[in-house]
A and B are shown apart, each in its own frame.
Chain A
Amino acid sequence: MAEGGLTSHRRDPIKSSVGNVAAHRRRQNAVEVGKERRESLVRAKRLCRVSSSCDDSDVCIENDMIIDEEQSILEAQTSSAVEELKSAVSFQGKGAMQKLVGALREMRRLLSKSEFPPVEAAIKAGAIPLLVQCLSFGSPDEQLLEAAWCLTNIAAGKPEETKALLPALPLLIAHLGEKSSSPVAEQCAWALGNVAGEGEELRSVLLCQGALPPLARMMLPNKGSTVRTAAWALSNLIKGPDHKAATELIRVDGVVDAILRHLRKADEELATEVAWVVVYLSALSNVATSMLVKSDAIQLLVQRLASSNSLQLLIPVLRSLGNVIAGDSHTIVAVLLPGCEITDNVIEVLVKCLKSEHRVLKKEAAWVLSNIAAGSVEHKQLIYSSEAAPILLRLLSTAPFDIRKEVAYVLGNLCVAPTEGDGKPNLISEHLVSPCW
């Protein structure tokens, strides 16, 4: 600065030499490679319960051997079970049916037995094509059920193991249809839910193959276990990031009614799964959000929030409510009218959540309130004069940072009034100067 303000800002020109970035990237890359290898080494050590570093300890060797043995025995059993299955599939004689179901059941038992199911061994031994064969049309229910169960457990494995299910997907989807018995359809939905949960790539495969409509139709009846499994699978399937699936789902005939009905009547466990579907619908699809807003959904969500104490249920319900309010301006302008009962109820349940012990509930409730607080002056007054205001103020000084941040948004929104056009917002001075603050 001494020589004439030469602290001047001087940035790198956009047109620069490739050497500058390239050398830097090369170094970054070396650091990344080191990091990856460190992580994979740690992962290997974690999964491997046998260490070579304890050669001199007898006890240790013994333990290792037992664990080692258990695992290798399980793998050997799995390989032979696959062999058994292979011969059962091609066996044509008397009792073929029993033989096949027996082999499938043994397979399923092995795959369900341990904390480390021998999925890899099963795939290596060639289980998948055999299981696909067992899913062929016209097979007895028991056979379909066992085969789908095996596939469900395989799909719960590591990502590449889940991918091994690709050839089985069309048949699993086919068995979701109305003609299948409900245990079979449920088991298939379960397997597909595992596949959909694995990632975006497999989700889009499932969507292309038409998994969505039959799963959606499984939500329509009132049979609890079927609806629960279907809802769980659907919430995995429509997770996005693409929003098309969510929109497709809401447009399936009867889905909106079914969702509302389950939200109204179902037990908490089922309502939880349905609420997760609503979370993704409202987060991803504007179409879905506006259809939900026009229905009783808000009312039902509010009732659930008011009546339940199950954290599992409250989280998706609260998030759904928040998504619906944030996602469609119609909600605040036309539904949550100040003076209406529903509006008061919403504020009331949000206050309940703000008071709860649970961090996520507090944070999300504040987020929902901040969106309402962004509404009209009347909305602001409503919140301001409710029980929420003192709680918010207390949270602002005592809560952890993430909650404080959301709370600050609410309070900030409460203090400014919207203006027409691009003028700067006006301060609502009456809050600020009101004696009780």
Chain B
Amino acid sequence: MAMEVTQVLLNAQAIDGNVRKHAEESLKQFQEQNLPGFLLSLSGELANDEKPVDSRKLAGLILKNALDAKEQHRKLELVQRWLSLDNNVKGQIKAFLLKTLASPVPDARSTASQVIAKIAGIELPQRQWPELIGSLLSNIHQLPVHVKQATLETLGYLCEEVSPDVVEQDHVNKILTAVVQGMNASEGNNDVRLAATRALYNALGFAQANFSNDMERDYIMRVVCESTLSPEVKIRQASFECLVSISSTYYEKLAPYIQDIFNITAKAVREDEEPVALQAIEFWSSICDEEIDILEEYGGDFTGDSEIPCFYFIKQALPALVPMLLETLLKQEEDQDQDEGAWNIAMAGGTCLGLVARTVGDDIVQLVMPFIEENITKPDWRQREAATYAFGSILEGPSPDKLTPLVNVALNFMLTALTKDPNNHVKDTTAWTLGRIFEFLHGSTVDTPIITQANCQQIVTVLLQSMKDVANVAEKACGALYFLAQGYEEVSPSSPLTPYFQEIVQALLTVTHREDAGESRLRTAAYETLNEVVRCSTDETAPMVLQLVPVIMMELHNTLEGQKLSSDEREKQGELQGLLCGCLQVIIQKLGSSEPTKYVFMQYADQIMGLFLRVFACRSATVHEEAMLAIGALAYATGPDFAKYMPEFYKYLEMGLQNFEEYQVCAVTVGVVGDICRALEDKTLPYCDGIMTQLLKDLSSNQLHRSVKPPIFSSFGDIALAIGENFEKYLMYAMPMLQSAAELSAQTADADDEMTEYTNSLRNGILEAYSGILQGFKNSPKTQLLIPYAPHILQFLDSMYMEKDMDDVVMKTAIGVLGDLADTLGSNAGSLIQQSLSSKDFLNECLSSDDHMIKESAEWAKLAISRAISV
């Protein structure tokens, strides 16, 4: 059944486009006509040591792609396809693959490893291929060395592909033993050690039981720590990556090793090559992540319970850790500020320092201040920059009481440095530090203001001046202005920025027109800052915001005038359109929020909507999202009159709801459905058939990202609230969907944090749908249509109450639904509620809740229920 494919595979990599195309065609034909033969030929090619390496590699790659795809839907198809293949064929393919692990050609071995792991990922959960792990392990003790290396690599990939619960503990133990032995210093071959170390990285998730056993854990930790000292840089890097992974997976087991790990990481940070040093720093950042999470949980709770206790590793390591991190700050690269993807020791060190400050708070300040004082005025720019960077990094975490006196002293120095320092790098970091000062120490919640009438003008002047500096400095100056404006969000009626409003807006618009505004994301920063300045402005400056409307409209109009553009230019154009739509969104929200300005603004509404509709012609997802958001804002401002735009807008709404691939567009569009329902109310009706059809399709699709589904349920509620009893015809479709989603969300055993969060958002969506539908039908003669659904809704509430894992938001929505049942269905629901298992307990618990919102909903529900029962 197999066939000679070498030449076709080589041709498929030919330089000549025609040859290549022809070869790709024949491969495709072969695959379509005879899949088993095709796969078998490929595996035979991969296993054959007489074949050229290029054809073997491609054969392996095509095999791999025949087993897995990024896209969930496609992936499931491929899995099914493999499982339904003839067992005999699969057996032959697997035999070829295992044989390839012994090939002298490294590329062939490595490719085979990956394919084996993919097949294992499919078959092990089905309890198939039970002998695989055993036969791999039997390879481990074999010479030659390259077989050992390939086998370890395969085990590593296998652990990456397969979930721990499908591998029995006995196999896990043996895999770990093999891997750790391979890492051991007694293993003479570096390739084997490297493969073993990388395999361990993937196998760590399997090692729960082993990490709970002191002896086994000690052994694993010792081997990992030893291999961080290997002479081979790649092994050292891989070992530190293991440590990083251990720090988050097994934080609570680290106490006995932390001192040793500190010594190892400190040495690596100071002396080792960059990739290794970066991982060593990352270890401490990761510990900070863990402790910040734990301490946050401590803080939030009455009795202060967290699943894992805090060991205060950072606090203990502080006197040694901080000096080590401060040293890294002096290792800047010359051009890191211009390069958006830059990542080096200095950047990682400062990032870690920031996390340390958030972990320990006040304690860090006295350890960092001497470094700042020592370096901030030095002639070498590196020292001045490092000092400034250190200061900026520790502004989040310590208390304002501790920081404010220091900032009061530093502020003037920073403002001077931003204008006078000869070095761009220093200026960049200075502007960023000012932004951090404003972000964390300026605003209505701060007791002692650091910005006063006396220095406000100077700050604005310096920032506007710096916006004329080189692009990266100007970008940071915009950022500082952003947080300066944000701090005045809550002031009214008069903002200290009012006197400078016109000047600020002008300066930001000038920045957007700079030739080099495309560098360092300067244009984006300028527009987002303009948005924030507008958003936080007060009524005094409303006339100036109004004047901004035609200006931004004109900018948007200009981008739509049809020149022929290269694809590169088109991309930039799209980015600009997105920014302008974003800006209009904020302006519309601002002006729509008060009657007088809304009235004046409405004269532009037709034209603005016209521009948005033209923007949809552009093919960029980001632009569609931004235009949708702006249209949502416009719908609110316009109210029922938005109906006149619907005939034209509807097709784009539908397009957005169909956009599975760019699911963010779909999510934003679902939000806009809600906006439109609230604006149009019953005038939404003519569009509801189409919208509901699309939403129901979205829900039944397994291609659509799951995060979009809860908001879709909420939008059912929005639609029902808008069209009331006319929702009748959708009940037979919507209710079963809600019901099965409710059942799904009630089973929450073994969920991790992420899953719990998703479950709660799903429940919230479902409950909002129920509330909307019930309230939509209230007082209609058709309420009896809902009675058959009431028992299930009550069951859903019961089951959530029993599980005891609702968050506050869900609890509030859920108790509201209980009230809605009573409110809409009256005595029909009253008796059901009285009979239900836990309604009474649930209501009582909510009535005595500390959460104001829950209590309020509960009080209303109580009233509704008592009315329903008394009827």
Q: A residues bordering B, Cβ < 8 Å? A: 1-2, 4-5, 7-15, 17-19, 22-23, 26-27, 30-31, 33-34, 37-38, 41-42, 45-47, 49-51, 53-54, 57, 59-60, 63-64, 115, 199, 283, 326, 367, 400-402, 405-406, 409, 424
Interface residues of B in 626-678 (CB under 8 A from A): 629, 632-633, 636, 668, 671, 674-675, 678
Which residues on B sit within 8 Å (CB–CB) of A49? Answer: 779
Q: Do B347 and A15 touch across chains, with their CB atoms under 8 A apart?
A: yes
Q: How large is the interface on B (under 10, 10 to 19, 20 to 34, 35 or more residues)?
A: 35 or more
The one of A46, A115, A199 in contact with B819, judged by C-beta atoms closer than 8 angstroms, is A46
Which residues on A sit within 8 Å (CB–CB) of B432? Answer: 15
Query: Given A22-B532, A46-B819, does the pair A401, B589 have CB atoms closer than 8 Å?
Result: no
In the complex, B778 has a CB within 8 A of chain A: yes
Specify the main secondary structure of chain B where it touches its partner.
helix
Which residues on A sit within 8 Å (CB–CB) of B531? Answer: 22, 26
Q: Do A9 and B279 touch across chains, with their CB atoms under 8 A apart?
A: yes
Q: Do A19 and B160 touch across chains, with their CB atoms under 8 A apart?
A: no
A63 to B781, CA, bound (A): 12
A54 to B725, CA, bound (A): 9
Specify the main secondary structure of chain A where it touches its partner.
helix
Q: Determine how close the nearest CB of chain B comes to the CB of A94; give it in whole angstroms.
A: 45
Query: Given A51-B779, A53-B779, A57-B780, does the pair A13, B347 have CB atoms closer than 8 Å?
Result: yes
Q: Determine how close the nearest CB of chain A comes to the CB of B820; give it in whole angstroms.
A: 7
The 4 closest A-B pairs by CB, nearest first: A18-B479, A19-B524, A22-B528, A53-B724
Q: Do A18 and B775 touch across chains, with their CB atoms under 8 A apart?
A: no
The one of A8, A9, A46 in contact with B820, judged by C-beta atoms closer than 8 angstroms, is A46
Q: Do B816 and A1 touch across chains, with their CB atoms under 8 A apart?
A: no
Query: Given A30-B671, A34-B632, does the pair A15, B389 have CB atoms closer than 8 Å?
Result: yes
Which residues on B sit within 8 Å (CB–CB) of A37? Answer: 636, 678
A82 to B101, CA, bound (A): 93
Q: Do B524 and A13 touch across chains, with their CB atoms under 8 A apart?
A: no
The one of A17, A199, A401 in contact with B804, judged by C-beta atoms closer than 8 angstroms, is A401
A26 to B520, CA, bound (A): 21
The one of B255, B521, B585 in contact with A424, judged by C-beta atoms closer than 8 angstroms, is B255
Q: Determine how close the nearest CB of chain A comes to the CB of B339; give it in whole angstroms.
A: 11
Q: B residues bordering A, Cβ < 8 Å? A: 110, 114, 156-157, 160, 198, 201-202, 234, 237-238, 241, 244, 255-256, 275, 278-279, 282, 285-286, 302-303, 305, 307, 340, 343, 347-348, 350-351, 353-354, 389, 392-393, 429, 432, 435, 475, 478-479, 482-483, 520-521, 524-525, 528-529, 531-532, 582, 585-586, 589, 625, 629, 632-633, 636, 668, 671, 674-675, 678, 682, 714, 717-718, 721, 724-725, 768, 771-772, 775-776, 778-781, 802-805, 816, 819-820, 823, 852, 860, 863-864
The one of B285, B525, B582, B779 in contact with A50, judged by C-beta atoms closer than 8 angstroms, is B779
Which residues on A sit within 8 Å (CB–CB) of B353? Answer: 14
Q: Do B521 and A19 touch across chains, with their CB atoms under 8 A apart?
A: yes
Which residues on B sit within 8 Å (CB–CB) of A12? Answer: 351
Q: Do A57 and B393 touch across chains, with their CB atoms under 8 A apart?
A: no
The one of B234, B303, B351, B633 in contact with A13, judged by C-beta atoms closer than 8 angstroms, is B351
Q: Determine how close the nearest CB of chain B comes to the CB of A162; give it in whole angstroms.
A: 12
Complex: chain B residue closest to A30, CB-CB: B629
Which residues on B sit within 8 Å (CB–CB) of A54? Answer: 779-781
Complex: chain B residue closest to A424, CB-CB: B255
Q: Do B525 and A8 touch across chains, with their CB atoms under 8 A apart?
A: no
Which residues on A sit within 8 Å (CB–CB) of B820? Answer: 46
Q: Do A26 and B586 touch across chains, with their CB atoms under 8 A apart?
A: yes
Which residues on A sit within 8 Å (CB–CB) of B802? Answer: 400
A319 to B780, CA, bound (A): 47
Q: Determine how close the nearest CB of chain A comes to the CB of B819; give it in whole angstroms.
A: 7
Which residues on A sit within 8 Å (CB–CB) of B582? Answer: 23, 26
A30 to B711, CA, bound (A): 13
Query: Given A14-B354, A26-B586, A30-B632, does the pair A38, B678 have CB atoms closer than 8 Å?
Result: yes
Q: Determine how close the nearest CB of chain A comes to the CB of B748; give it in whole angstroms.
A: 10
4 further contact pairs, Cβ within 8 A, besides A38-B714, A409-B305: A18-B435, A34-B671, A45-B775, A45-B776
Which residues on A sit within 8 Å (CB–CB) of B724? Answer: 51, 53
Q: Do A17 and B721 touch across chains, with their CB atoms under 8 A apart?
A: no
Complex: chain B residue closest to A61, CB-CB: B779
The one of A9, A27, A199 in contact with B244, judged by C-beta atoms closer than 8 angstroms, is A9
Which residues on B sit within 8 Å (CB–CB) of A57? Answer: 779-781
